[in-house]
Amino acid sequence: MKYLLIVVISISMLKACSQEPNEQDLKTLTYTASTRGYYFKVLVDSTTVYVLTDREGNNMRKALLKPEDWQELNKLLKTVSLKELDKLMAPSEGRVVDRAAIASLKVKLSDEEYESLPFDHGNPPIEIKALIDKILQLSESVERQ
């Protein structure tokens, strides 16, 4: 009986550890692109999209986030292996010679934070392209207001 109990507890713990993050786990998504003379940051939480265009935060705009957009971001995030996020290779190297801004994605969950390797602004790794495109689409709606 003890062995059966140990097996059941072990299986349930393994299953809980391997689950993908759910909507309650995701706190923020942050996309940043910068060079010496350019700065662009989009921070998305469950209710708001913030867009900053200077490093000091003096030029910040924000807009309310629709619940369906938050759900879509969560759905797109589930297609990404967060544990592999810092291993995704950039498809181009323009940032190395100042042809493109250096970009990165940061995902903050309730208990952990994940960050991508740097990539060229406008040319993210294919594994996170849909997620980045959605974040940039949301930032454009803030800029139009």
- pLDDT, one tens digit per residue, over 64-103 is 999 999 999 999 999 999 999 999 988 887 777 677 899 9
- Give the CA distances from residue 74 to residues 19, 23, 27, 80, 135, in Å, rounded to whole numbers and listed in that order: 14, 6, 10, 10, 11
- One-letter amino acid at 25 equals D
End-to-end CA distance of the chain: give it in Å, rounded: 64
- Give the CA distances from residue 121 to residues 10, 124, 142, in Å, rounded to whole numbers and listed in that order: 43, 7, 19
Helix (H) or strand (E) holding 63: strand 60-64
Give the strand pairing for 26-34 and 48-52: unpaired
Architecture in CATH for domain 24-143 = 2-Layer Sandwich (3.30)
> In terms of Cα–Cα distance, which of 144, 143, 123 is closest to 51?
143
d(CA 129, CA 123): 8
- pLDDT, one tens digit per residue, over 112-123 is 999 999 999 999
Whole-number pLDDT of residue 39: 95
d(CA 21, CA 77): 9
Whole-number pLDDT of residue 41: 97
**% the chain with pLDDT above 90:** 63
